[in-house]
């Protein structure tokens, strides 16, 4: 809904606590709805940056989980989106640990499953200006693409909101960093990181001073075209590239911290496919058409900073599409910590399974009249080793830094 000055009016906010949110989180349908809303309505980057979560839509109301319900910038971010679908907002207060856990579960879900195809239907606005209707026109696109385009196109409205952000990136990074590490541990980490950095390839892409004007990017050779796109998404915060294929043309979008930065529209399919092929080469994937989604993670050093590129190429309605996400700083630490937690849990589970099998073997050997003393001694030694292994794995799990601070 637009005001007489052409600005979106704030939607009505009904601040209240929904006490059943944590209980409902155990419901698989509730988790699925949250994950789908993160994919189609509020991006993971925006949820991480603003400490918010889209919990569900009901009766033209977005139930929004917030760690800090007085964060005006976060409220303005969501309000500007909701104003164009003529919805209200109900705030559900959640603590930082719950927010971290849900985003962690979302990352695990993304790593172990294909992208969600079934989208949550978003409310349609009752009325829109002709200009807005033109901007959101989707032609022959299917429903899921309409929702995707709506989310991204409206993101341009958040640029001003992002610029007015009062909190520094350094303050945001503190959310998921550990401030309690001892001095001698930091020295050891520095030494270890230096050794790892020497094995991590250095990423070389154009810097802002060398950028070609946006309108001339499609005229560049495919390899240079992709390099400039990478340079643009790496320079900022959490960057993301979207390669969207339409029936007779292509579109490439890039965003920073969930906010749309620029769009290359009406790209000839030859230009679009050329850039996509270079992306596949960069990811060490076959240039031939893929029959199923492929995801690749590549770690680099860029300007003495570690970053992770997460690339995904998948079949779309009209052909191959792709996304590329850049994680660094707090977001990279958060993601890597979740990976470490998952591996620790897996290792502990394997250790417990081995313990069960050894106890079962011990019972069988005890009942067997032909068991030798050497077998009993070997079993005793294995049990001692397993107890020590289990203890060490638990120490690793318990000593993981708290990323919720």
- Residue 303 Cα to chain centre, angstroms: 23
Strands 13-15 and 88-93: parallel
User: What is the structure's pLDDT at 31?
Assistant: 83
Pairing of strands 259-267, 320-328: unpaired
- Residues near 109 by beta carbon (within 8 Å), at least 6 away in sequence: 31, 35
Q: Average pLDDT of 43-55?
A: 83
- Residue 3 is classified by DSSP as -
Query: Are the C-beta atoms of residues 289 and 316 closer than 8 Å to each other?
Result: no
Domain parsing of the chain, residue ranges: 13-123+143-167, 208-331, 343-398
Are 150 and 122 a contacting pair, CB within 8 Å? yes
Q: Are the C-beta atoms of 81 and 154 separated by less than 8 Å?
A: yes
Task: Compute the CA torsion angle 66, 69, 70, 76 (nearest 10 deg).
Answer: 60
What pLDDT shows up at residue 277?
94
Max mean pLDDT range (235-239, 278-282, 301-305, 369-373): 278-282
Q: Residue 24: which pLDDT band, with cuts at 50, 70 and 90?
A: low
Question: Going by C-beta distance under 8 Å and a sequence separation of 6 or more, which residues neighbour residue 129?
Answer: 2
Say which residue, 156 or 256, is predicted with more confidence. 256
Output the CA angle 175-81-230, nearest 5 degrees: 60
Look at residue 148 in the predicted model and tell me its pLDDT.
34
- Nearest CA-CA partner of 46 in 85, 10, 95, 81: 81
Q: 82 with 61: CB under 8 angstroms?
A: no
Give the position of tokens 């154009």: 206
In degrees, rounded to 5, the angle at the alpha carbon of residue 85 between the alpha carbons of residues 70 and 24 is: 60
Q: What are the phi and psi torsion angles at 242 (to 5°)? A: -120, 125
pLDDT at 400: 53
Choose the weakest-confidence range: 111-120, 204-213, 334-343. Answer: 111-120
Q: How far apart are CA 18 and CA 335, in angstroms?
A: 28
Task: Please tell me the predicted confidence (pLDDT) of residue 224.
Answer: 94
CA–CA gap between residue 143 and residue 117 (Å, rounded): 11
Strands 294-302 and 305-315: antiparallel
Q: What is 208-331's CATH topology?
A: Beta-Lactamase (3.30.450)
* Mean pLDDT score, 73-90: 81
**How do beta strands 61-66 and 88-93 pair?**
parallel
Q: What is the pLDDT of residues 257-283, one digit of tens each?
A: 777 788 899 999 999 999 999 999 999
| CB 311 within 8 Å of CB 295 | yes
Give CA separation, 276 vs 218, 229, 319, in Å.
13, 11, 11
What's the confidence (pLDDT) of residue 353?
A: 82
Q: How many helices (H) and strands (E) does the chain have?
A: 14, 10
**Strand 250-256 with 61-66, pairing:** unpaired
Give the separation between CA 47 and CA 66, rounded to whole angstroms: 9
**∠360-364-370 over CA atoms, to 5°?**
150
Give the confidence band of 324 by pLDDT, cuts at 50, 70, 90.
very high
- The closest alpha carbon to 92, from 56, 49, 60, belongs to 56
Average confidence (pLDDT) over 224-249:
88
pLDDT digits (tens, 9 = 90+) for 212-234: 998 899 999 999 999 999 998 88
What does the radius of gyration of the chain's CA atoms come to, in whole angstroms?
25
Name the most confidently modeled range: 216-225, 238-247, 287-296, 350-359.
216-225
Residue scoring higher pLDDT (165 or 136): 165
The Cα–Cα gap between 106 and 100 comes to 10
């Amino acid at each position: 809904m637009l005001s007489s000055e052409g600005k979106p009016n704030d939607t009505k906010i009904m601040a209240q606590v929904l006490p059943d949110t944590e209980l409902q989180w155990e419901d698989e349908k509730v988790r699925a709805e949250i994950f789908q809303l993160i994919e189609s309505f509020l991006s993971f980057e925006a949820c991480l940056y603003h400490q918010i979560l889209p919990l569900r839509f009901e009766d033209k109301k977005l139930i929004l989980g917030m760690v800090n319900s007085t964060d005006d910038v976060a409220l303005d971010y969501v309000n500007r989106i909701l104003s164009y679908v003529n919805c209200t907002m109900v705030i559900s207060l959640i603590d930082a640990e719950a927010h971290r856990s849900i985003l962690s579960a979302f990352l695990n879900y993304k790593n172990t499953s294909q992208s969600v195809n079934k989208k949550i239907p978003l409310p349609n606005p009752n009325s829109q200006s002709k200009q807005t209707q033109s901007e959101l026109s989707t032609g022959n696109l299917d429903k899921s693409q309409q929702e995707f385009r709506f989310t991204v196109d409206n993101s341009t409205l958040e640029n001003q909101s992002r610029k007015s952000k009062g909190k520094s990136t350094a303050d945001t990074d503190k959310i998921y960093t550990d401030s309690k590490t001892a001095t001698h541990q930091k020295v050891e980490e520095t030494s270890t990181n230096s050794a790892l950095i020497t094995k991590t390839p250095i990423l070389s892409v154009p810097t802002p001073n060398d950028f070609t004007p946006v309108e001339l990017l499609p005229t560049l050779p495919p390899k240079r075209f992709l390099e400039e796109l990478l340079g643009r998404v790496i320079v900022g915060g959490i960057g993301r590239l979207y390669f969207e294929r339409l029936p007779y043309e292509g579109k490439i979008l890039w965003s920073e911290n969930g906010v749309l930065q620029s769009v290359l529209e009406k790209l000839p399919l030859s230009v679009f496919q050329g850039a996509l092929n270079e992306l596949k080469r960069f990811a060490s994937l076959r240039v031939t058409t893929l029959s199923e989604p492929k995801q690749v993670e590549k770690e680099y050093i860029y300007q003495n900073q570690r970053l992770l590129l997460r690339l995904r190429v998948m079949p779309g309605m009209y052909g191959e599409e792709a996304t590329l996400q850049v994680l660094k700083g707090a977001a990279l630490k958060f993601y890597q910590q979740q990976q470490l937690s998952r591996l620790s849990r897996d290792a502990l589970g394997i250790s417990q399974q081995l313990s069960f099998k050894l106890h079962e073997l011990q019972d069988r050997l005890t009942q067997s009249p032909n068991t030798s003393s050497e077998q009993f001694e070997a079993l005793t030694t294995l049990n001692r080793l397993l107890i020590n292994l289990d203890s060490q794995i638990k120490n690793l799990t318990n000593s993981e830094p708290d990323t919720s601070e």
